[in-house]
Chains A and B, each alone.
Chain A
C-alpha cells in the first residue's frame, strides 16, 4: 500500500549532512514538521551513521573528497540517500550520480515538495533493496542448479547412469543424509575432486 510509506516516514531517522546555515535550519524545521526524527552532522562523516534510515547530503564542491570517501565506506549499511544541491552543472550532477542519490532537493529550500521527494526516494530505495535481495536469491539458486548439473555429469560418466537415474541417486542420498540437493551435489563434486587428485598423483 503506497500510503504505508508515508506512514513509515514518521519516526524515521533522518541525518542531515549539511553545513550549519539558514538553509539547514529551513530543511530541519520542515523535516520535523513532517514528523521525522532529525540529526544534524557536519563536516561530512567518514562513514554512514548507524541507524540512519535517510541521509540528506549537501553536495558541496569543496567537500568533494570527503563525500567520495563517505561513498566508498561500508556499502552494506547504506541509507536512502537524497542529495541537496545548489547547482545543476555537469560536475554537480556527476557527484549526485556517483553518490547513488534517489532524489534531489534544490536550494534555496522550500517546504513544498520536500515530502514528495522523500516519499519517492524512500519508495525507490525500498524497491531497489527488494530487487537486490531477489537478485541475490536467484544467483544463489542458479549456482545451486549448476552444481547439481555437475554432480549429475560426474555420476553419469563415473557410474554409467542415465541423467534421470543420476538425478534420482543424488535425491535419494540427500534424503537419507538429510542434506539439501545442493549440499549433496557439492559433496559429490568435492569427493570427485579428491578422487581425481589421487588418480593424477599415482
Chain B
C-alpha cells in the first residue's frame, strides 16, 4: 500500500477506515465515499493541477491499530491530513498522534460530543443535531417508556445518558439500560429480548453499533415484536446495517441522521448515483459515507484556496466557506470545528429503505458541549401526535 516512488507532484493524504472487524461494513462505505470524492477531484484535473493520492491502511476496527497506522502515516508516509475513524475509541486513539504531528484529522461520524481539538474537523452529527430531534419525535409519536440498549463503550453511555435525560424531562421512565459486548452475537441479545418482554416499553433506543446491530434487530424480529408500536430507534443504524439484516427484519424501525440514501434533492441524487455507479447498485450509501464524501471535498477546496496542505493554513481556509453537500449546504463552525448539519428522521419501509418522516428543513449549528437540551417548548400532550 505504501507508495515508494516520488510523489512530490501529488497531494498525499492518509485514509483510515476499517475494512475488517466489527464496524467494517459501515466504515467501508466511508472509505468508498472518500475514494469517490478523490476520483472526482482527480478526474477534474486534481487540486491546482496536482492529483490527490490516498495512502490507505486497514486498522481492522482496533484502536491500537488505528494509532499504529496513524503514526506510520505521519512518520513514514509523511501525510499531513488524515481522513478516517468511526468509533470514538478509535478517534481517541488517533487524535494524540495527529496533535503530536500537528496534523489535521477529518472525522466523518456522529459521536457523543464533549470534545474539541484544534487538530480535528468533525463532520458528523453532535448530539444537539440528532438526539434531541429523535427524542422529540419518539416521545410525541410512541410514548415515554423507554428501554436503552447499547454496545459497551463510550458513545453508547453518553448517548443513553442524554436520551434518559429527555425521557425524565417528559416525565417518562427508563425501564432498563442494558449493555452488550461490542462483538455481540444473537445470543447476547437473549437477555435484552427477555427484558423487552417483561417491561414492554414503548420505545427501544439502541446505541448498538457494528455487526451486533443486525443481530439485535434479527432477535427482535424473531421474538415477534411489533415495530409499529415499539420501534427500535437509533442514531447509528444506517443503510449499511440494514443491508446486513435484510428488509424484513428492518421494517418499521427509526433512525435519525443528516443524510439518507433516499433523499430526493438533486445533490443527493447525484451523489447516490455516482456512488452506485462505482460500487454497484446494492452498495449502501450512509450518512457516514456522505460526511466522508463532503469532508474530502471541503479539505481539497481549502487546499485549492491556500495552495498548501499545511494543516494550519487548511484550517484557516476551511472556516470561510459554505459547501453544497449532498445533505444540503454545510459549513464548518470556526468556534468549535464541528459542522452545521441538517437533522432528519426516517422510518424503514417494507423494502428496507429509509422513508423520511420528519424533515424540518433547517440547518442546525453544532453545540458539542451541550450538557442538556430542554424539551420545554414541547409537551407530552402536544396535539400534533402522529401515530404511524
Is A75 in contact with chain B by the CB < 8 A criterion? no
What are the interface flags for A1-15 relative to B under an 8 Å C-beta threshold, 1 for contact and 0 otherwise? 001001101100000
When the two chains form the complex, which single residue of B161, B367, B371 contacts A7, counting CB atoms closer than 8 Å?
Answer: B371
The chain A residue sitting closest to B116, CB to CB, is: A111
**Docked CA distance A112–B118 (Å):** 11
Look across to chain A and name the residue whose beta carbon is closest to the beta carbon of B165: A3
| Other-chain contact of B370, A3, A35, A115 (Cβ < 8 Å) | A35
B378 at the interface (CB under 8 A from A): no
The answer to whether A172 has its CB under 8 Å from any CB of chain B is: no
A6–B336 touching, CB < 8 Å: no
B374 shortest CB reach to chain A, Å: 10
Pick the contact of B114 from A9, A10, A32, A115 — CB < 8 Å? A115
Contact B371 A33 (CB under 8 A): no
B178: A residues at CB distance < 8 A: none
Quick check: is A30 within 8 A (CB to CB) of the other chain? yes
When the two chains form their complex, are residues B369 and A115 in contact, meaning their CB atoms are under 8 A apart? yes
Give the distance to chain A from B118, nearest Cβ to Cβ, in Å.
8
A29 at the interface (CB under 8 A from B): yes
Given contacts A111-B116, A112-B117, A115-B114, contact A33 B368 (CB under 8 A): yes
Q: Which residues of A contact B115 (CB under 8 A)?
A: 112
User: Which residues on the A side are within 8 Å of B68 (C-beta)?
Assistant: none
- How distant is the Cα of A191 from the Cα of B116 in the complex, in angstroms? 69
Per the bound structure, the CA–CA distance linking A10 and B116 in Å amounts to 17
Q: Quick check: A30 and B116 within 8 Å, CB to CB?
A: yes
Secondary structure of the A contact surface, majority rule: helix
Measured between beta carbons, the chain A residues less than 8 angstroms from B336 are 33
Complex Cα distance, B335 from A6, in Å, reads: 20
Q: Is A34 an interface residue (CB 8 A)?
A: yes
With both beta carbons as reference points, the residue of chain A lying nearest to B336 in the complex is identified as: A33
Is B154 part of the contact surface with A, judged by Cβ < 8 Å? Answer: no
Q: Contact partner of A33 among B165, B369, B372, CB < 8 A?
A: B369
Task: Evaluate whether A29 and B335 lie within 8 angstroms (CB atoms) in the complex, with A6-B371, A10-B371, A115-B369 already known.
Answer: yes
Restricting to A1-50, which residues have a CB under 8 Å from any CB of B? 3, 6-7, 9-10, 29-30, 32-35
Q: Mark A150-189, 1 if CB is under 8 A from B, else 0.
A: 0000000000000000000000000000000000000000
**Complex alpha-carbon distance, A28 and B117, angstroms:** 15
User: Which residues of B are in contact with A by a Cβ distance under 8 Å?
Assistant: 114-118, 161, 165, 335-336, 367-372
Mind listing 14 A-B residue pairs with CB under 8 Å? Answer: A6-B371, A7-B371, A7-B372, A32-B335, A33-B116, A33-B335, A35-B369, A35-B370, A35-B371, A111-B116, A111-B118, A112-B115, A115-B114, A115-B369
| Closest A-B pairs by Cβ, 9 of them | A6-B371, A34-B369, A111-B116, A33-B336, A7-B372, A7-B371, A35-B369, A33-B116, A33-B369
Q: A6-B372, A35-B367 are in contact. List 13 more A-B contacts (CB 8 A).
A: A3-B161, A3-B165, A6-B371, A10-B371, A29-B335, A32-B335, A33-B336, A33-B368, A33-B369, A35-B369, A35-B370, A35-B371, A115-B114
Binding site for B on A (CB under 8 A): 3, 6-7, 9-10, 29-30, 32-35, 111-112, 115
